[in-house]
Every structure is written in structure tokens, then in C-alpha cells.
Structure 1
Amino acid sequence: MEDQIDFRRMPVIHPYKKILDKAYSAASEASTTVSAQNKLLEIRIKELKRVETANEIICDYLNKIVERTPHVNLMPQYYTEIVSLAIDKEQFKKSLGAVRWAAEKSKELSTTYKKKLKGAQARDLGRIRSEYYGRQSSVLHQIRRDFTFLEDCRARLKNLPKFKEMKTVVIAGFPNVGKSSMLKTLTGAEPNIQPYPFTTKHVRVGYIEKYVQLVDTPGLLDRSLNKRNVIELQAVLALQYLSDMILFVFDASETCGYTMVEQMSLYKEMKREFDVPFAVCFNKCDLVSGDELDKYYNKVGTNRYQVSALKNEGFSKLRDFLLADALPSKKKFYQ
């Protein structure tokens, strides 16, 4: 699964002339190691060695691109959505197919010209090998734009965040409501910080034991979605394909700078936009009276919890709830 989404495994894709220069230089060097008592045999073996070496380097490189490039048809839906924002997926598939074609064509050329070299007269050996070089160069020249396109894709996609295949809970709520503190308290560890595509923001990822993946989204799910540009909005909405659940955090004390009315409005907007189950956590409950909290506590459904991240109170029930059905995810993110 991880290999299907890790664009960092893609090799750097060089301009085609650089690939050819490396292959032909190595071929010339390899031919210097050949010696034979018969001069004609030595020349023939040298030219065969050049063709074999050049083909080996070129085919190895092309096959490495194909094998180590994630295939967009096999990606989980979350990554499919994100990749679609960054690149032309259809062109990506066509360019990868062009590299695959070039690898197969290069192998065919090598086979053809080695047969020619084995049956040729001495005066024709150099010409046949040069002809092979010319046709091999032509093959890579034909896909030069595909090389350029794939390298641009690699640069755009190499820093996609990596998520594990397990139950995933995305944390939402206004800034300063205590999301980061809650993540550390629930997981008992410092989170892994990763860039989030098409925004200037980062996500924080942590784990409850080895069963639940928690994703904190500072700067993402912390304000009204109508304040986003189109690309950023699509990137944020893609989180629903990652989420098995959204944990919305309220600051019951309002010390975050947002009133409970404003927080409730954001909660309702998230509920409308994200087609996933919600759980609600009221943080900083130690700073408010029960009567104040009850006005909102009874408006958010049954999966609701009162905690104090500062005092580390009330988390055992929330943690048990999140772990309760933490089997391998069967939702559309992994289909």
C-alpha cells in the first residue's frame, strides 16, 4: 500500500540526452576490457559489448521509472483526489506508458542489432553499431516530453503526506481550542509533522497504540470553508476520503477567542460538508459551569465527551470510544 502512494521512490528523471550520454560512455568503457587472439573476433565482441551495455543501462533506467512510479489507478481515493489537483492524471498515465513502450522498444533494438553484428562482415561492424545508437537515440527522443512531464510530476508529488492503512480520525475545530494538546494526550507522543498539499499548512499525525491514526489539521479544518480558494477548498474536502471519523473540538471556556455560537456554526458547516461520522469533544470543561455547557452539549448528538487537556482529565472514555471499533478500515479511502 505505501509503495502505491510514495512518489519519493520515483527516480529523478533526467533529460534524454543525459541518459544516452551515460549509456554510450559506459558502453565505450566496457568495450576496452575485451580482448581476443583473433582480431576480427575481438572487434565483433567489442561492438556486441557496446550494444549490450548501452541497452542494459537504458532499459534498467526506464524500467526503474515504471516500477517505482505509483500508478494512479491503484491509489486510495484520498490520494486520487489530491493527485488530480496537482497534475493531469490522464497525461501522467500516457507518459508512463510511453516510458514502458521505450523500454520494450529498446530491448527489441538490442536483440535485432546483436543478431546483425553476429552475422556481419568486419567492415560493417562499426556501421551497424552506429546505426543501433542512432535508432536507440531516436526512441528516447520520441518520449523527451514525457520525461519532462514526469519529472515535473515527481517534483510536485514527492512531498505528499503519508498515512497508514488503519482507522483514521481527523481532528477539527477553531484555532486555540486545544487540538494539538488533545492529540499529544491521546497518543502520549510528539506528533509527526507533514506538509499538506496546495496549502501553506502542515498536518500532525499521531497514533493511539497501533490501531487508530489521529490527524490534527491546524489551518485546515479550523475556519469556514467559504474563505478558501478553489484549489485549497478541494484539498481540504479531500480529507473526507481519508477520514473514518471527524473529532470536532469545542473550547467550552471560549478562551480561544471564539464564542460557542461561532464554534457551533463551524461544527454545523463541517457536518454539512463532510459525509463521515462525527464525534464531539468539549475541551477546557474545568473552566465553565455545568449549566453553561449543557446549553450546547445536548445539541451535538450522542458521541460527545468532556475533557480538560490541561489537566489530562476525561480522556479515558474518549480513548476507549476511538479504539472500540478500530479494525482495519473498510471505507472508500482504501477501496
Structure 2
Amino acid sequence: MKVIWRELSTVLTEDEVLDKGFSRAKKSAEKVDDPVKVFRVRKQLTRMVQTSSDVMSQYLEDTEKSWPSLDRMPTFDKAMVDACVGCDDYRHHLSMLGWGAKQMRKIAKQNVAKITRSARLEVMHDARKEAYGRLSSIMSRVGNSLEWLHQSRQTLRRLPEIDQANPTIVVCGAPNVGKSAFISSLSSGKMEVNHYPFTTKQLHVGHFEHRRLQHQMVDTPGLLDRPMDNRNAIELQAIAAIQHIGSLCIFLMDITEDCGTSLEEQHNLLDEVKELLPDIDIMIVVSKADLMEPRPENWDEVTHLEKEWDGEGEPMIPVLLDEEGCVTISSIEDVGVTALRLEIVRRCKENMSTDPLLLPEGWHRRD
């Protein structure tokens, strides 16, 4: 189940729901036509009570159902909800809407019965007033939950939409090592930028397709690019959420130190990332190969093979290697990027859990 937070609809306030219910009830009563006054008033008041209750309770129920259920939510999204607004509050305020809807239907049933059983106009009007008062009282109790959902909606709508059914590559490294350029060079489309609601940081998401399977690349500036001591509790919780989506983690390093971070600090950060993401396969990639002196030994070979590849199949293009034998790329000159993408696809395929219910790859082909 992929959660699309941007589709959360606007949540009305307490007063707006009351106005909606009572105005609809008034219009419904105006349509009643009966020559006998007692019967006409009884029908009008019955409609007013029933319609106002139906409109408001239906709105509360629809709002509750339109929000994703925590029980059916992917682990990553659930962890992000907990980091942003809190799972307990999320569950409580949604359940308040369901409670309010049930109470309103009970109130309508009780007061409609009072109106229909009486032949006295003042008793009918008193029953209608009582119903309106009780409905307003229920709405005042639900009002805080509506306000909470309204505020939370603004926060949750900015959460990234990540499909856990597809491979996800988490890209990390020190600031200015070329993470954004790396993701842009691999992505087939424009890179999305999503703001973390609980920090001033951003989440960069890029995509590329390989044999009709979309791969997601996630850059987390501000989360996985500095020591643990500089992170607050909410950011640590966000990092915990990332553990649930990563099929592979790519740690970019800049051995030229042009990024402003020393090699020692980058290695210390790598050690911390390994501790933070213990269950994710980590692949170290050295960026800015075009600045290396001398250039990688297999630079010309990789450049030639990448240009020759027509995009079909999975050729064994060797990855670009530096003097130390580490995988390296040049995002600026677009060398080693294609080879690395193929290696990423292979690593993700190895790390993905096999679903026994999945049909074999290529089952639909007839060639």
C-alpha cells in the first residue's frame, strides 16, 4: 500500500461542520408541504434533526476513512507519522471522529422519536432544540480533533511518497561531495525535492527505470551528513524510518577533500552510518573522478563501453575503479555512471526479498 499524502483532503473546522449540517437541515425542512399544521411541523422538525445529524456524522465518518490507516500503512510511512505528529495522537484523533459520528446518530434517533410521538408543537420544538444542542456539544468535543487533523494535514502533505515495493537506494555522505549531482545524473526525470516537516532539511528523491522496474534514489541532506551529536531526537527517528526503505545505501566520498570535509571526518561519518543502518548493504563510491590525478586506469574502457551500450539487456560493464580499487564516478563528465547504475540494479536485486507469489520475470513475453 503506497500512501499518497498529497491527496489528503481539507479538514473543516467545528463551526464549518455545524454550519454545513444546520444549513442543509433548514433547506430540507423548507421542502415539506402538508396542509395540516401539526403534521407539517412534525415532518419539518424530524427532517431538520435527521438531516443535520446525517450530514455531520457522514462528514466525520468520511474524514476518518479518507485518512490512511496505521494498521495498513507501510513501516516507513508509519515511522514518519510517528516522527512528525505521533502515532498515538494520530490514532486518537481519528477515532474521535468515529465516536462523534456514532453519538450523533444516537441523538438523532432519540429526538426524532420524541418528535414523532408527540402531538404538541412546543414539545416538538423542544426536542429539536435539544437535538441541536446535543449535536453542538458533540461537535465541540470533536472540534479539537478536527483542528489537530487540519494542522497535521499541512505537515503530512509534505512527506515524501516512497513506494516500498520498488528498490530504494539511500544516498549519503558529507556535504558537498556531489550527492545531488550523482542522483541527477542517474535519474531519468526531474529530481523531486520534499521538505522534512520537522526540520529545515529537504529530502531529494530521484528515479530511474531498468527493465520496467522503477528504482528510487533518496538523498537525505542534514540527516546522514554530520556526526550523531549534532542530531536531535526527531532527526534520529527519521533516520530510523529510513532503515525500513533502503535496499542499498551508497556512501559518497570525496578523496580530493574539495567538499571541505577531511578524509578522516568522512571515514568517521561512514562508521556512524554503518551503525545507524546496520541492516542495509552499504556501497562506498568515490565521487569527482575527473579531478583525480592520474585518472582511473580503466577510464577509457568504461567510457567506450558505456557509449556503445544501447540500453538493452544487462551488459557486464566494469565499474570505474580508482588506484585503491574503490568504485568511482564522474557525474560532471558522465563517466562510470551507467556502469554504477547497472551495478546498483544487480545489488538491489540481490538484496530484495523474494515474494513466492510473484510471477517469474518475463512471464508475459511470447518471444
Normalised-by-shorter TM-score class: 0.7 to 0.9
Larger RCO (alpha carbons 8 Å, 6+ apart): 1
Q: Structure 1 CA distance, aligned partners of 2:6 and 2:71? A: 14
From 314, 323, 327, give the equivalent of 1:294. Answer: 323
Cα deviation for residue 247 of structure 1 reads 0.7
Query: RMSD between aligned alpha carbons?
Result: 2.7
Which residue of structure 2 aligns with residue 178 of structure 1?
178
Map 1:73-222; keep pairs closer than 5 Å: 73-123=71-121, 124-165=123-164, 166-209=166-209, 210-222=213-225
Seen in structure 2, the aligned counterparts of structure 1 residues 188 and 157 have a Cα distance that, compared at 3 Å, is closer
TM-score scaled by length of structure 2: 0.78
Question: Is the CA contact (8 Å cut-off) linking 1:82 and 1:197 kept in structure 2?
Answer: no
- Aligned residues with identical type, % of pairs: 28
Identify the residue that residue 301 of structure 1 maps to in structure 2. none
- In 1, Cα distance between equivalents of 2:263 and 2:342: 26
Q: Where do 5+ consecutive residues of structure 1 fail to align?
A: 298-303
Cα 1:28/1:282, change in 2 over 3 Å: same
Give 4+ residue runs of structure 1 displaced > 4 Å after superposition. Answer: 290-293, 325-331
1:9-33, Cα deviation, whole Å (9 max, x unpaired): 1532413x44223322321232112
Kindly indicate whether residue 54 of structure 2 is the aligned counterpart of residue 56 of structure 1.
yes
Partner of 2:285: 281
Q: Distance in 2 between matches of 1:171 and 1:273?
A: 14
Q: How far 1:200 sits from its partner (Å)?
A: 0.7
Counterparts of 1:58 and 1:327, CA distance in 2: 52
State the alpha-carbon separation in 2 of the partners of residues 44 and 328 from structure 1: 69
How big is the shift at 1:285? 1.8
Once the two structures are TM-superposed, the CA of residue 309 in structure 1 deviates from its matched residue by: 0.8
Q: TM-score, normalised by structure 1?
A: 0.85
Partner secondary structure for residue 211 of structure 1: strand
Q: 1:191 to 1:326 in 2, by over 3 A?
A: farther
Query: What secondary structure does 2:197 align onto?
Result: coil
1:133 deviates by: 1.6
Conserved in 2, the CA contact under 8 Å of 1:11 and 1:65? Answer: no
Question: Which runs of 5 or more structure 2 residues have no equivalent in the other structure?
Answer: 298-320, 355-367
Given residue 208 of structure 1, which amino acid in structure 2 is its aligned partner?
A: F
Aligned-residue offset at 1:274: 1.1
Amino acid at match of 2:286: F
Distance 1:315 1:241, change over 3 A: same
For the residues of structure 1 that align with 2:337 and 2:6, how far apart are their CA atoms?
37
Q: Does 1:311 align with 2:333?
A: yes
Q: How many matched pairs?
A: 322
- 1:290-323 alpha-carbon deviations (Å, 9 max, x no partner): 599434x4xxxxxx52211111011222111222
Letter in 1 for 2:81: V
